Amino acid sequence: MNQTLETIYQHVSVRSFTEEKLTQNEIKELVTAAQSAATASYQQSYSIIGITDDKIKSKIAEYAGNQPFIKESPELFIFIADLHRNKEMSKRLGIDVSRAIENVDATIVGAVDASIAAQNMVIAAESMGLGTCYIGGVRDGIEEISKLLEIPNDAYPVFGLVIGHPDQRNDLKPRIPFDGIYTTNKYFKDESKIIDDYNEETRSYYQNRSGRKSNRTWADTSIKSIEKHPRDYMKRFLNKRGLAKY
């Protein structure tokens, strides 16, 4: 196994960091790694906002579900699906792309570009011995955070990413078995056994991990998350910003 694969396979979310900040050179390396990611048709429909103001970071932590570790993290990056820049470029070319940007596919393209770039940043960070954690809770306070960061129409925050020197790491979580994720040519015929077996494996993980123990399964965790975060305001929010209308 090469070093890149070893780094990827050992990924865990880190929510406890030392107070050591990243250097400006490290930040530049991480952003450059993000920019090296694949992008749809060379659009690069994303932007990254680094949060250096502690007051702004505290507000984001509050809006993103009152998660203290966000406020305490050394570095916070907000990844933006950015169609605004595309619209500005189109004006210089005398081309009206308003209808295309209002289409739901453009909204998806921005989210995909931001996600691929962020994952590049995560792999780069972990290869440097740093810890990372995605913050989907940014979408819980998406309207307030968008105002706070002065994000224009035709753009929206997809998620946050905290990065720093780990003070404590979680145990490695088992993933869905290979045969439960990968199939050939057609969708799975029957997922029942895969789900049942994996639930038992994850129950054992939660009961025996070094951190807070519990008697729950993958299904308990994932389905409760879906139930808790329907975010049914997202379409209304995106439509107000000129996105996902059609």
Which of 170, 197, 227 is the last residue in one of the domains?
A: 170
Question: What's the pLDDT at 210?
Answer: 87
Question: What's the pLDDT at 212?
Answer: 87
Q: Are residues 108 and 230 in the same domain?
A: no
Question: What's the pLDDT at 1?
Answer: 84
Cα separation, 18 vs 88, in Å, equals 41
* Lookup: tokens for 160: 């946050």
Cα separation, 74 vs 17, in Å, equals 7
Q: Beta-carbon neighbour count of residue 30 at 10 Å?
A: 25
Which of 145, 170, 195 is the last residue in one of the domains?
A: 170
| Three-state secondary structure string covering the chain | CCHHHHHHHCCCECCEECCCCCCHHHHHHHHHHHHCCCCHHHCCCEEEEEECCHHHHHHHHHHCCCCHHHHHCCEEEEEEEECHHHHHHHHHHCCCCHHHHHCHHHHHHHHHHHHHHHHHHHHHHHHCCCEEEEEHHHHHHHHHHHHHCCCCCCEEEEEEEEEECEEECCCCCCCCCHHHHCCCCCCCCCCHHHHHHHHHHHHHHHHHCCCCCCCCCHHHHHHHHHHHCCCCCHHHHHHHCCCCCC
Structural domain that includes position 205: 171-245
Chunked mean pLDDT (size 10), the chain, 246 residues: 96 97 98 98 98 98 97 98 97 97 98 98 98 98 98 98 95 95 95 95 95 93 95 97 97
Question: What's the pLDDT at 187?
Answer: 96
Q: Are residues 156 and 176 in the same domain?
A: no
Q: Are residues 135 and 148 in the same domain?
A: yes
Q: Are residues 55 and 164 in the same domain?
A: yes
Question: What's the pLDDT at 181?
Answer: 96
Q: How many domains does the chain divide into?
A: 2
CATH of the domain at 110: 3.40.109.10
